[in-house]
Amino acid sequence: MRNTQRGASYTAILLGVIVAAFGLKVLVTLWQPYWDDRLINQLIEEQVAISLKATTPQQFASTMGQKFSMNNIRDIEFKDIATVKSKQGLQVTKKYEVRKPFLFNIDLVLTFEKSFDQRSVQSK
């Protein structure tokens, strides 16, 4: 048996476990806001595509509030994250940020922005 070949030391294994735990913590913390944003984008696109041009911004916002409730998006209100205009069809601009506590006094800040235009969504 050769003395130069050895397996991983306890320090290397411990370091690997710490790095894996840190990566898992980042994944668990960031997964939910990104998943919610993906779902919000999908809901807005669907509603913009099926809305009539005569739909008012208030009607659109109330419908989106109901859809948020149905899809279990309870920590974000549509009226707080989006503005709806009705010039030549609906135009929805979504902009918000999410702060998630990470470690001790460190927060992760995620910013989400996207615009939806009824003419471009319906042409797809």
pTM for the model stands at 0.81
Q: How many helices (H) and strands (E) does the chain have?
A: 4, 3
For 96-113, how does the pLDDT look when each residue is reduced to its tens digit (9 = 90+)?
Answer: 999 999 889 999 999 999
For 14-54, how does the pLDDT look when each residue is reduced to its tens digit (9 = 90+)?
Answer: 999 999 999 999 999 999 999 999 999 999 999 998 888 78
For residue 122, what pLDDT is reported? 62
**Residue 95, φ and ψ in degrees, nearest 5:** -150, 120
State the average pLDDT for the chain: 90
User: What span, in angstroms and rounded, lies between the C-alpha atoms of 79 and 94?
Assistant: 10
